[in-house]
Amino acid sequence: MRTTTKALCTVFCAVLCTFVAACDEPAAREAGDAVTAREGSIDPCDGLTPATLQATIDALEDAVALAEANAEAITNDAYPAATQLAITHLGQARDYMVELQTWLTTTNLEMTSAIAAYNTHCSGREAAHQAAHGYYWAGISAIYNNTTEGKLAARRGRDAHLALAPLAADGMMCYMQAYLGE
């Protein structure tokens, strides 16, 4: 029993050290700071702002542009599907958020209204899923083709994913608050 416990502690410590080292990256620290600030807020609707939505769209547009630049920079694509899938998934994530923004604008709804919060959750959740696939494939393309653009597309896609997940979560919590109160 003692050997098993010691082995588990060793594995846990190794994982924890890796996680802490990963949090040393500026993007991971910024995402962590955003989550910490959000956790300190009493109102889950505080994270639902047009500026937050625009920031996610901007990050996704950057990631798509970098994935497209990656495709152009590759002279002999070692894994063509990875390059194309990065563009496709990051583009789909961007499209989900642009459609949400357009809908909010045309309906003239505040993001914190119940229906807008619900749609922010749904769009953000789907966009986060697509962004995760997008940065994965951008990373695979970067590995196989060794391009700076591929590395940057993967990093920017990851940044967008890190911003989308809390936005989607805030949407659900705000939606629940509209019906259930605090």
8 A C-beta contact, residue 153 and residue 120: no
Question: Which tokens in the block code for residue 35?
Answer: 């989550």
Structural domain of 136: 43-180
Is 22 among the domain residues? no
Is 3 among the domain residues? no
Is 77 among the domain residues? yes
Q: How many domains does the chain have?
A: 1
Q: Tell me, what CATH number does 89's domain have?
A: 1.20.120
Look at residue 74 and give its three-state secondary structure.
coil
Is 165 among the domain residues? yes
Orientation of helix 148-180 relative to helix 114-145, angle to 10°: 160
Predicted confidence at residue 41, as pLDDT, reads 60
Over the stretch 24-56, which tens digit does the pLDDT of each residue have? 445 444 444 444 345 566 788 998 999 999 999
* 122: amino acid identity, one letter: C
Is 59 among the domain residues? yes
Is 64 among the domain residues? yes
Is 79 among the domain residues? yes
> How many angstroms separate the CA atoms of 125 and 168, rounded?
5
Over the stretch 79-116, which tens digit does the pLDDT of each residue have? 889 999 999 999 999 999 999 999 999 999 999 999 99
**Angular region, 24: left φ>0, alpha ψ -120 to 50, beta rest:** alpha
Among 163, 167, 168, 174, smallest CA distance to 42 is for 174
